[in-house]
Structure 1
Amino acid sequence: MLMGASSAAAQAAGDAKAGEAKAAMCIGCHGIPGYQNSFPEIHRVPMISGQSAGYIAAALQAYRKGDRKHPTMRGIAGSLSDQDIADLAAFYSGHHQAKAPEQVRAPSATVAALIEKGACASCHGANFSTPIDPSYPKIAGQHADYLYVALKAYNIQGNPHIGRANPIMAGITQQFSHAELKQIANYLAGLPGELATKAQPRFR
């Protein structure tokens, strides 16, 4: 679930130090613990510190291309070069967190059936922090409200401002009701993971 798109930027060599200098446009949302986005509904912005460089690059490329349609992120990504994307990916992926455990808490029988139906572990790993492809995200411990909004976005078609174009994820999420997607999101958010919001200094 929540797969990224393969991209040239994901293959580019990033410079974490250069990425730190370029992150000013990112920290206003991603550097504030608990910060909320109000579009398309109120939810916390995703934790990206500790995410893989491949996924961060793929996500930014998808926003720049328009496969992800969040207006603010599209505007930001559209201003970035491939090197900028690679540098930012290197910077945020370098915020190492505690390694996620190999085994995670078993879900309820109801949620276990949903996870199995969606084949979530087959792409994101048994602990949901070891995706099989570097362009796929770690999702264990991610904010539940963000996961829920992201999962619903794959089902939106033909809207120029909202939605995510990913045929694999769309095929998966269309199997579930909104209530079931929320159950999945809540379970994943409660797992120990490697993601965090790295608070940035107010004065740089």
Structure 2
Amino acid sequence: MTVRSLVAAATFSAVALTAQAQGLTGDVEAGKSKAEMCIGCHGIPGYQNSFPEIHKVPKISGQSGSFIASSLAAYKKGDRKHPTMRGIAASLSDQDMADLAAFYASHADKTAPETPRTASVEVAALIEKGACASCHGANFSTPIDPSYPKLGGQHADYLFVALKAYTVEGNNFVGRSNGIMAGIAKQYSPAEMRAIAKYLSTVEGELKVVPQSRFR
């Protein structure tokens, strides 16, 4: 199957997922109180995770609510493997996820430029090879479906770990089960993944870390 065909299949799957999620409305204030379990990692600028290797935890403030909710659901189901995140997600109801999603999406207070900074010839070719903009938007902050992540400005080391996770098979603790992304990620060597991740981290985007007090 070609990359373009994979993208088309991904779009269909995302629409179906979004349709399933309809009917739940997240509450920002409820999400704020429930986020106490999240702020120890996602509310500290530069905070690092040591699993499966040392990398900064992702910026989630400014992501779309649909993406946050679908990611939590994937951790709960086990499609995204991460012991800590699965333990947290397993404790959440669908409404909890919707509330947390609404809270973090409410931090969006800027719009990414329509045109991102120019990539090198080599990186541009890698991005074209994976048809990345077809799903994540030409500026990497306007995905074709809100259940897809915004990538612009995300931490480079996290993006690398995330991309690599899609290539892992048969591991109970590491990896992400997504046939679309697996097919795309497996085209790249680790060095190429790092190059893509480094470029995307320099693109001006809508993501950020909103510092949260541990004591409320």
TM bucket by the smaller chain?
Answer: over 0.9
Alignment equivalent of 2:155, drawn from 122, 130, 143: 143
> Greater CA deviation, 4-13 or 56-65?
4-13
The answer on whether the counterparts of 2:75 and 2:85 sit within 8 Å (CA) in structure 1 is: yes
Q: Does 1:95 align with 2:107?
A: yes
The answer on whether the counterparts of 1:9 and 1:83 sit within 8 Å (CA) in structure 2 is: no
Structure 2: where are the runs of 5+ without partners?
1-6
TM-score (norm 2): 0.91
Structure 1: where are the runs of 5+ without partners?
none
Q: Which residue of 1 aligns with 2:3?
A: none
Alignment equivalent of 1:60, drawn from 72, 88, 92: 72
Q: Which residue of 2 aligns with 1:29?
A: 41
The answer on whether the counterparts of 2:153 and 2:207 sit within 8 Å (CA) in structure 1 is: yes
Q: Which residue of 2 aligns with 1:193?
A: 205
- Structure 1 counterpart of 2:124, one-letter code: A
Q: Does 1:128 align with 2:175?
A: no
The answer on whether the counterparts of 1:19 and 1:88 sit within 8 Å (CA) in structure 2 is: yes
Q: Which residue of 2 aligns with 1:114?
A: 126
> CA-atom RMSD, angstroms?
1.6
Q: Deviations over 1:56-112 (max 9, x none)?
A: 000000000000010000000000000000000000000023210001111000000
Q: Do the aligned partners of residues 69 and 11 (structure 1) sit closer, same or farther apart at CA in structure 2, a change above 3 Å counting?
A: farther
Separation in 2, partners of 1:90, 1:129: 18
Q: Which residue of 2 aligns with 1:169?
A: 181
Separation in 1, partners of 2:129, 2:23: 32
- Structure 1 counterpart of 2:211, one-letter code: A
The answer on whether the counterparts of 1:50 and 1:96 sit within 8 Å (CA) in structure 2 is: yes
Q: Which structure's residues are more often helix, by fraction? A: 2
Q: Does 1:72 align with 2:61?
A: no
The answer on whether the counterparts of 1:123 and 1:132 sit within 8 Å (CA) in structure 2 is: yes
> Greater CA deviation, 41-50 or 193-202?
193-202
Deviation at 1:202, TM superposition (A): 3.4
- Structure 2 residue matching 1:99: 3-state secondary structure: coil
Amino-acid identity (%): 67
Separation in 1, partners of 2:190, 2:205: 24
Give the 4+ runs in structure 1 shifted more than 4 A.
7-11
Deviation at 1:11, TM superposition (A): 5.3
Q: Deviations over 1:176-202 (max 9, x none)?
A: 000000000000000000000000023
Separation in 2, partners of 1:120, 1:143: 17
Separation in 1, partners of 2:109, 2:83: 30
Separation in 2, partners of 1:129, 1:11: 25
The answer on whether the counterparts of 1:125 and 1:132 sit within 8 Å (CA) in structure 2 is: yes
Q: Which residue of 2 aligns with 1:160?
A: 172
Deviation at 1:10, TM superposition (A): 6.5
Separation in 2, partners of 1:202, 1:164: 30
- Structure 2 residue matching 1:23: 3-state secondary structure: helix
Q: Which residue of 1 aligns with 2:4?
A: none
5 Å-filtered alignment, 1:38-49, equals: 38-49=50-61
Matched residues, number? 203
